[in-house]
Structure formats: structure tokens, C-alpha cells
Structure 1
Amino acid sequence: MDLFQSMKAFVTTVRAGSMSAAASELNITPAMVGQHIAALEFRLGTRILNRTTRRQSLTDFGVSYLEQCKDIIERVALADMEAENQSNEAIGALRITAPVTFGSSLLMSILKRYRDINPHVTLDIVLTDRNIDLIEQGVDIAFRIGKIPDSRLIQRVLMPYKMIVCASSTYLTDHGYPEHPNELPNHDLLLFTPAARATLKFYKSDQLVEVKPKSVISVNSGYALINGAKSGLGIIVQPQILLEPKIRSGELVQILADWSLQERQLSILYYRDQNMTPRLRSFINFVLKELGEENGDLHHS
């Protein structure tokens, strides 16, 4: 087996805490991760991981070997970056994380344009609604929605993340059409789990109406909410970019359209001390052009 890939599998397994978690990160099967580690142990003639059905731990030799593997991986990455900087061409791999709904819809819809411009860059997209640690997870760029508490990160502001309210015509026929935000607590609401307890703030001119929603169903998937709304289960509050196609097709109807929900800020993040390779610079500039409120250029930032 490829020695370098086996080292990466070993380091990722230790960092992620399990072979299954490492497999998910590396986009291979847990069995393949196990084969990589077994190949290393066969080559070394000693065990590097103590494995039981419930937990794993490093052997004494594994502790020192882990540091050597990390050093080798970092040196290879540095050599790749130096080669890329010398050629000034965007080449290599970028690891990107984004919220599931945003990543599945808007981000994926624009990536072909990036690949057309930068065909030698490969993209590893990790979709999660958790705010993962960029360095710990080996992430180059993160898309985040809302406030950014980490001062170690550079934040580049993109477009506002607009939310709208929708339901199916079947639901509205059966339950009535809300004319005011205060009527929402009397309806069946389907809410995104992480935001299910958050107060909804509606604005119109100088009016502010705050609504404490009561969900009949909460689920951690924007697409599941849309399917539920299409079937007539209830009213949803989801990103405009996700709902607009369903509104155009007639599958959903926007309600309370004369009210605006509080917008959340969409940003991209990367670490201050990160080496600004051509591939990283190319992706950030592309995103600022595609999704920014105004065009950005890292050469002048």
C-alpha cells in the first residue's frame, strides 16, 4: 500500500478518535483505514495502536511514530505549497467546510465555474452544521453563518443570508393564510432543529414583531423541512436561496412576504498565519466575486 497514504490514515485516525471517523474524513471505508494501519505495523514490525472493540490508544512506539508521521506530512504539504507558489498556478487540494443547507444548494451550484477557471484544483467539501476547528480538521476555508467569535480567523464578509416563510397551498387551504407574524403560533411550524428555540424577528418599516415559535416537528435538515412543507405538514422558515425554486414551481407559497426576517451574515474564514497559496487565493477571490456584496481582491487587501 502507499506508505504516505497509510501515514495519513494513521494520523487522521488518532486525531479523529476512531477509524470510522477517519474514514469519513478521508472518504474511504473504515476497513481500508484498518488496512493502512495494519500495513504500517507490518512494515515496522510492531504495533502502533492498541485496539479493542470500545476504544483505541497509542502504543509507546506509536506515540513517537505519530510525531514523525505528522512531520513528514507537514513537510510534504510545505513542499507542495512552495512548488505551487513558484509556478504561481492554482494547483493541489483545498479542504472546505460549510453548513449543510448552504453547501448542498448555493455552494455546489457555483463550483463548476470555479473549476472551469482552475481545473488543477481539487476540492474536498465537508458539510456540517458544527463549527469545527479549522486547524484540527485540516480545513483551509470555512463558510459560516452568524457571529464569528474566534479572533484567530480572518473573516471576509459575503452576502446576507435571507430567510423567508413558506407553506404549501394545500396547508394554506386547510389552515388559513397568516396575514401577520403574530398568527404563526396558531399554526403548525416545521423548524430547523438548531434554531427551533430561537425567537423570530420580523421587520416592516419601523415595526418590529418578535415571535416565539412552537414547532410541531423539528428536524436537522433543510431539505427534510422542504419535503414536509410540500406534503402539507406545516409552515417553514428557511433560506430564500433554497426556497425560491420551489416557489417558482408552485410547490410552495411564500407568506408574510411584506415582512422581513432578521438577516444573518454569511462569511468565509481562514487562519491569519495560513500560507496564501495561489489555490487558496484563487478560491477566496472567486467566492468574493460570486457571493460578496462587493468584489474583493486579496492582492489589495
Structure 2
Amino acid sequence: MDKLSGFETFVRAVDLGSFTAAADSLDLSPQQVGKQIRNLEQHLGVQLLHRTTRRQSLTDFGLRFYEQAKVILAEVAEAEAMAAQTSAAPRGKLRVNAPVSWGMRALAPRLPAFMIANPEVEVELSLSNRMVDLVEGGFDAVFRVGQLEDSGLMARKLAPYRLILCAAPAYLASHPPITTPADLVAHNCLGFVHSELRRTWHLDGPTGATDVQVKGRLSSDHGEPLVYAALEGVGLILQPEELVNDALSQGELVQVLPDHQAPTRPMHILYAPDRRITPALRAFIDFAAETFAAP
């Protein structure tokens, strides 16, 4: 800290043009200012200032050192501000984006706990099944399903996204039996527009992985319309467990081919690689990582 004090005193003397002015701004005596600068010169082994009885001027090295010292002091101030911000209570507004079904069924029910624990944080939650641009969209954090591309964003891994193949008992009773994934090609499979699930369903079973090319009379960019259609016996769906769990537990839907699971899909919360992450964003990332922890 003595070195930093010397840096600050030297920069202040140069900026203000005299030891006396620097002393007034630092609440020191002119003698103390002069001593600190002399000690700095002795430490460096180089003269920083030309001094006369009437004025002072920078040496060639002193000018270069002055410019570098200003950068160092600015970085120290930034680091101290970052530390103060990190220790501060979370506050301010966060803009968050998540997939629609997962956001409604998994995130939304748990979000009040975060709001209660952080009463000075305001959250604007946007739900969309289209892949949004975090930076251009002005989001602080986004939840994303699937393999990550090299986007330059920071990521925290969450519990994987699990899909369940199911249909209404009435549909299964009135259509040919389904005993293998290959049987699906003869059925009305309701597709999700924003992924390969529109036409290809991947299933892992006792004999290995199978890709089934499916077709159906209804597709949607949201899972809810597909669930409603499945409940009415229109066809089969392959949708997130958060979206179908209630219907499964009540017997309104039945899991199909339980020995053949759809591969889980990775899920992450993404945020910009900004070294000055606010306490509010840090608290939200930690909340997400803990609430939806990867096994």
C-alpha cells in the first residue's frame, strides 16, 4: 500500500502542478508530498521530476511512468469497486429468458423463493422457444436446452432436460399396439417445431439407440397445444417431464415404451463473460445452479 500511496501522490502532484496543491488535495503537508515522491524515486532508482525553486517538470522517464501509474491506479480503483459491489446486497433489475414450457412449469414455481430471498431485485422474465441473442436482446441470463455452441458466453451446467413419450389411454386403446420404436411410424406423432422432434424421435432402449422418422397431423412451436391434443386422444407426444408429469400421475396420459427413453438433453444457464457481474446476477446464477442442480 506504501507503493500505491507513492504512485497516487506522484500522479496528483503532476496533475495539479505543484506539491502544495497535491498536499491540499491529499490532506498532507508539502513536505510529506515531497518525501513520498523522493522515496518513490529511490525505490525505482530513477528521477521522475526536474525540480527548481520555482517550478517542476517531468523527466522523460517520469512522463512514461506517470502514464503507466495512472493506468495502475485506475485498475486498483476498479478492483476495489468490484469488491465493494460483490459484497453489497443484491439489487436492481435482471432480464431473464427461458424456454416456454420449462419456464412455466419448472422455473416459474420456484422463482418466488428467489424474489423473497432478494427483496431488492426486480426480475423481467421472457419466455420463448426461439434461441435469443443474450447480448443483442439485452438479457442478463438465458436458460438454454441442447448442445452449446462456442458463443463466448459463460455457462453453468444444470440438470439435464428429460423428455417422455406418452399418449392418452383412449388413443392407445383405439390404435395398433406399440411394442417397438419402429411401430411409431404408423401412428400420429405430434411434432415440436423448434427442434428435430418435429420429424425425428430418438429413443434409447435395451438393444441400443433408434432414430424414428415420425409424422403427424399437428405440430406446434409450443408444447402446451401438443399436450392438449394428446389429452383428447389425437396422438402421441414426446415432451418435457415438467409438462406431462401431472397428467401422467392422474392417469390422463400413459408413458409409451417405458424401456425406451429419449436421450436427456444438456441444459445450462448462460451469461456474458463480464468480470463485473452484479450481486443480483451472481445471486440469480447461484439460485439457478442450486435449484436445478446437475446430478
Secondary structure at the counterpart of residue 194 of structure 1? coil
Partner of 1:278: 279
Runs of 4+ in 1 over 3 A off after TM superposition: 81-84
Q: Which moved more, 1:218-227 or 1:126-135?
A: 126-135
CA contact (8 A) 1:85 1:277 kept: yes
- Describe how 1:215-254 pairs up with structure 2 within 5 A: 215-254=216-255
Query: 1:84 touches 1:90 (CA, 8 Å); kept in 2?
Result: no
Shift of 1:190: 0.9
Question: Shift in Å at residue 248 of structure 1?
Answer: 0.7
1:72 is matched with which residue? Answer: none
Secondary structure, counterpart of 1:203 in structure 2: strand
The one-letter code matched in structure 2 to 1:262 is P
In structure 1, what is the equivalent of residue 167 of structure 2? 167
Give the number of aligned pairs. 215
Per-residue CA shift, 1:196-227, capped at 9, x if unaligned? 44522211245222211112211111111110
How far the C-alpha of 1:274 sits from its partner, in A, is 5.4
Match status 1:110 vs 2:110: yes
The 10-residue stretch of structure 1 (143-152 or 244-253) with the greater mean CA deviation from structure 2: 143-152
Gaps of 5+ in 2: 1-80
What is the aligned partner in structure 2 of residue 261 from structure 1?
262
**2:138 match:** 138
Tell me if structure 1 keeps the 8 A contact 2:94–2:122. Answer: yes
| Equivalent position amino acid for 1:229 in 2 | A
Determine the C-alpha separation between the residues in 2 that align with 1:86 and 1:179. Answer: 56
Query: Separation in 1 of the partners of 2:134 and 2:189?
Result: 34
Q: 1:285 to 1:143 in 2, by over 3 A?
A: same
CA distance in 1, matches of 2:274, 2:82: 16
Counterpart contact for 1:84–1:278, Cα < 8 Å: no
- Provide Cα deviations, 1:31-90, integer angstroms capped at 9, x if missing partner: xxxxxxxxxxxxxxxxxxxxxxxxxxxxxxxxxxxxxxxxxxxxxxxxxx9898276101
Secondary structure in 2 aligned to 1:89? Answer: coil
Counting only pairs closer than 5 Å after superposition, residues 1-301 of structure 1 correspond to structure 2 as: 85=85, 88-195=88-195, 196-273=197-274, 275-293=276-294
* 1:258-282 deviations in Å (ceiling 9; x for gaps): 1111211111000112521111111
Query: Does the residue aligned with 2:218 lie in a helix, a strand or coil?
Result: strand
Deviations 1:107-159 (A, max 9, x none): 10110111121122111011111222212111000000012214320111111
Question: Quick one: distance in 2 between partners of 1:202 and 1:227?
Answer: 23
Query: In the aligned structure 1, how far is the partner of 2:210 from the partner of 2:245?
Result: 24
Separation in structure 2 between the aligned mates of residue 177 and residue 124 of structure 1, nearest angstrom: 46
The verdict on how the C-alpha distance between 1:219 and 1:86 changes in structure 2, with shifts beyond 3 A counting, is closer
When the two structures are superposed, what TM-score results if normalisation uses the length of structure 1? 0.67
| Runs (5+) with no aligned partner, structure 1 | 1-80, 295-301
Q: TM-score, normalised by structure 2?
A: 0.68
Q: Which has the larger radius of gyration?
A: 2
Letter in 2 for 1:152: G
Q: Percent identity?
A: 35
